[in-house]
Amino acid sequence: MPEVAAPVPGTTTIAVRGSSPYDVVVGEGLGDRVLPMLGADVRRVAVLFPDGLRALAEPVVAALEGAGLRVLELPLPEGEDAKTATVAVAAWDALGEAGFTRSDAVVTVGGGATTDMGGFIAATWLRGVPVVHVPTTLLGMVDAAVGGKTGMNTAAGKNLVGSFHEPAGVVCDLATLRTLPRDELVSGLGEVVKCGFIADPEILRLVESDPEGAADPASPVLAELVRRSVQVKVDVVVGDLRETAGFAGAGGHPGREALNYGHTMAHAIERAEGYTMRHGEAVAIGMVFVAELARRAGRLDDATVDRHAATLAAVGLPTGYDGADPATLQAAMKVDKKSRGDQLRFVVLDALATPRILAGPAEADLLAADAAMRGGAR
């Protein structure tokens, strides 16, 4: 039985109390927290990481080997290049060759692309083996590693193949953010700001009052933003893991779909740009677009709409896009998972922290919001 690690001072544990409960720990120097999360029966672990992040994966590998587990290292391509069927097949082949069984597990070390793909491989191997995520980007910590959405892209679009597979635990070691390039950290702030708009306005206040601290891995402001954003995500997913509440009409709140705020347009832009734009940057633009759409549809007040671009720009996120034409973006949005038949469905705000669904918006409103998006700063 692995020993339970003593709490490190300054470490926060956020319990995810769903049908498969697990903890998200946030703090510094948490390398020893992975082992106890794996469970007592695990004999062998596949550690998946982008090849360029070997230095961050090695201490995790050493800790597992030091505890007597056998480790299979599986390097993945960088970033979005990992989220392909070819990479999934190669990983399944490697697990098969090594004879991985249900007493074995997966650990991911990397950004959201790595946790998405590693989570998908864990979800599909033998119909599901345990996975512990060690996110090393801000975006991975506050969003991708938590909540069990896993997946990859196909030629038709972003995240179109995947599954819900909750992790056995998530270790957010803030020390890993020190090597993260600033642009990647700022990209993660796109999802942080999203959490502020859909659920926790204190996040917006913290970002607006100290945008420098928000982007500084050594700042207590960033640590507080991580804790608050994880809490937002946890609160949403425990109520609607499989994203079905929006259709049950749960008091108008769209359930897990709320976390998709800004993502309908973001995923369309990412696809149009061949996945070269960072996800959090695309989400920032997507939120500006959908706030404008909500204004045009008479759903959201001017001050809250304008706050989107102001807050995002304060941390250096883009607020406009003038690439692919409106028809191309609209066609890409049609394959979004929120669509039903030919009808586009968007998460909009009716007020701050009041996410709701806007189904089948008027074509004139879509075009006006698109035009407004093209006027923003990149």
Residues that bind ligand NAD (CB under 6 A): 50, 52-53, 56, 78-80, 83, 110-114, 116, 136-137, 139-140, 143-144, 147, 149, 159, 176, 179-180, 184, 187, 279-280
What is the length of the chain? 378
Q: Which amino acid is at 60?
A: V
Angle between helices 112-124 and 85-98 in degrees, nearest 10: 50
Q: Is 81 annotated as a binding residue?
A: yes
- Residue 108, token pair as written in the block: 């991911």
The answer to whether 198 touches 173, Cβ cutoff 8 Å, is no
Per CB under 6 A, does 33 bind ligand LNCXM5UN? no
Q: Can you tell me the distance from the alpha carbon of 307 to that of 309, in angstroms, rounded to the nearest whole number?
A: 6
Q: What is the 3-state secondary structure (H, E, C) of 151-165?
A: EEEECCEEEEEEEEC
Q: Is 158 annotated as a binding residue?
A: yes
Per CB under 6 A, does 149 bind ligand LNCXM5UN? yes
Q: Is 376 annotated as a binding residue?
A: no
Q: Which is nearer to ligand LNCXM5UN, 159 or 311 (CB)?
A: 159
- The option from ligand LNCXM5UN, ligand NAD, none interacting with 271 (CB < 5 to 8 A, set by class) reads none
Among residues 203, 259, 268, 285, the one that binds ligand LNCXM5UN under rule CB under 6 A: 259
Per CB under 6 A, does 334 bind ligand LNCXM5UN? no
Q: Do strands 22-27 and 169-173 pair parallel, antiparallel, or not at all (unpaired)?
A: parallel
Bridge partners of 88, per DSSP, are: none
Q: Do strands 70-76 and 149-154 pair parallel, antiparallel, or not at all (unpaired)?
A: unpaired
- The option from ligand LNCXM5UN, ligand NAD, none interacting with 231 (CB < 5 to 8 A, set by class) reads none
Q: Which is nearer to ligand LNCXM5UN, 69 or 259 (CB)?
A: 259
Q: Which one of 83-91, 219-227, 254-262, 307-315 is the stretch in contact with ligand LNCXM5UN (CB under 6 A)?
A: 254-262
We find the least distance from the C-beta atom of residue 150 to ligand LNCXM5UN, in angstroms, to be: 9
The answer to whether 258 touches 199, Cβ cutoff 8 Å, is yes
CA distances from 36 to 3, 23, 168 (A): 6, 11, 10
Q: Give the number of other Cβ atoms within 10 Å of residue 370's Cβ.
A: 19
We find the least distance from the C-beta atom of residue 281 to ligand NAD, in angstroms, to be: 9
Q: Which one of 11-19, 73-81, 141-149, 212-220 is the stretch in contact with ligand LNCXM5UN (CB under 6 A)?
A: 141-149
Distant-in-sequence, close-in-space partners of 153: CB < 8 Å, separation ≥ 6: 80, 83, 84, 159, 160, 161, 275
Q: Is 12 annotated as a binding residue?
A: no
Among residues 187, 338, 358, the alpha carbon closest in space to that of 276 is found at 187
Q: Which is nearer to ligand LNCXM5UN, 227 or 337 (CB)?
A: 337
Q: Which is nearer to ligand NAD, 131 or 372 (CB)?
A: 131
H-helix or E-strand containing 35? helix 34-38
Among residues 326, 180, 200, the alpha carbon closest in space to that of 259 is found at 200
Annotated binding site for NAD(+): 78-83, 112-116, 136-137, 149, 158, 176-179
Annotated binding site: 78-83, 112-116, 136-137, 149, 158, 176-179, 191, 263, 279
Which spans of this chain sit near ligand LNCXM5UN (rule: CB under 6 A)? 143, 147, 149, 159, 191, 256, 259-260, 263, 337
